Structure 1
Amino acid sequence: MHHPQASLSAREREVAALAVADVPSREIGGQLLLSTRTVDNHLQRVYTKLGITSRQDLANVIAPPPRPGPRPGRLGTFRPGDRRVELVEECPAFRVVTDSDVA
């Protein structure tokens, strides 16, 4: 199966990941040493390549980077909408955990 991010450049993936984490374009530019306009141009190319039109759409296509959380095997705060990937110890496989798994 073709991964939607496969056609993005490394810089576009970097900008998109920060955008999904709700970092404003100006701050993305500061972190990556780019102008705000360049960041917005990268985002526009990402939107075009992925067939989307907004950061909201982007968040539905690209999962945000994992947030620091509790150590594996421990329970922690899990807010609705949070996503994290856990290693399933019985079988060396990964699974995505969503708020419906917690309810």
Structure 2
Amino acid sequence: MAVVAALPGEIDRDSRRPGVAQEWEGQIDLVCRIEIRHPLSRIQAPTPVIGCARDVLVPVHHSREIHAAIPGSSYAELDSGHVARAERPEELIKLIRDVIGPGR
């Protein structure tokens, strides 16, 4: 939980770094332009999709759409925001281990 407590300070510190506004604008522009839906139906490998129910940056309906578009994919949803690895690390690790198998 120390990671979660430290995160807001790190974000605040980073947001004051010179050039960060332009970096965010570039990321937002890229996200708005990228279209990934078309090739999803061609994925043949076992594919887990994990959605985060309280994610405001990438709303969970996008994860559900990705899952629906990948044949045979599995889907799990965490009660988490965008940074599940900090908000729900144990649950995320369990989901990943369930997919890759024990001992990995």
TM-score normalised to structure 1 length: 0.22
Higher normalized helix content (fraction of residues):
2
TM-score normalised to structure 2 length: 0.22
